[in-house]
């Protein structure tokens, strides 16, 4: 859902990056799950947050000093899947697309979805096959012809040489 990216002030406030739409919706999904150590996840409820300038800031309960907050910088913010609304028709959560096999409309295997990222114009699918990395615009109907989550496959109209 997001990531803690920095400190704000001296009273334990944090700067966060949100991947929700709209970005302030991240505060609606609580508790947050933060990885504090390998294999250790802490659930945090009662988070207060707001827009600040061009970003977002938040305060977590019992994090009241800059030093306590500094220990959380870089942590990913996760939420339980059941807290999220189901995607609509032809909508997908990025996490559901990661790992899908990607083939062209002619059946040429391009690799698997590594991850996605947003641009101002559209989302982009990063496809890796071990040797190459391809960036395919996630524009359904034009470049992305079909997504079959059950089969684990995405079909794209893309030149394998590009």
Tens of pLDDT, residues 75-109 = 999 999 999 999 999 999 999 999 999 999 999 99
The CATH label, of 1.20.1740.10, 2.30.30.240, 2.40.50.140, 1.10.150.50, for the domain at 94-156 is 2.30.30.240
2-81 and 94-156: identical CATH topology? no
Of the candidate CATH numbers 3.90.550.10, 3.40.50.1100, 2.30.30.40, 2.40.30.60, the domain formed by 2-81 belongs to: 2.40.30.60
Q: 118-133 in b/e burial notation, b at 16+ Cβ within 10 A?
A: eeeeebbbbbeeeeee
pLDDT at 37 over 80: no
For residues 24-35, give the mean pLDDT. 95
Interacting residues of 141 by C-beta distance below 8 A, sequence separation 6+: none
pTM to 2 decimals?
0.76
The closest of 88, 87, 74 to 34, measured between CA atoms, is 74
Sequence ranges of the domains in the chain:
2-81, 94-156
Q: What is the DSSP string of 45-90?
A: ---EEEEETTEEEEE-TT--SHHHHHTTTT-EEE--GGGSPPP-TT
Closest CA to 143 of 128, 162, 130, 120: 162
């Amino acid at each position: 859902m997001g990531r803690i990216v920095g400190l704000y002030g001296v009273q334990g406030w944090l700067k966060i990056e949100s991947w929700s739409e709209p970005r302030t919706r991240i505060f609606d999904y609580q508790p947050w799950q933060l990885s504090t150590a390998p294999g250790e996840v802490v659930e945090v409820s009662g988070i207060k947050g707001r827009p600040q300038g061009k970003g977002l800031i938040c305060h977590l309960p019992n994090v009241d000093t800059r030093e306590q907050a500094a220990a959380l910088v870089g942590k990913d913010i996760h939420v339980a899947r059941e807290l999220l609304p189901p995607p609509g028709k032809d909508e997908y959560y990025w996490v559901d697309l990661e790992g899908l096999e990607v083939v062209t409309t002619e059946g040429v295997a391009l690799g698997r979805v590594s991850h996605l990222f947003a641009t101002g114009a559209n989302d982009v699918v990063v496809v890796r096959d071990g040797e190459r990395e391809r960036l395919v615009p996630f524009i359904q109907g034009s470049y992305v012809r079909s997504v079959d989550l059950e089969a684990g496959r995405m079909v794209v109209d893309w030149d394998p040489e590009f």
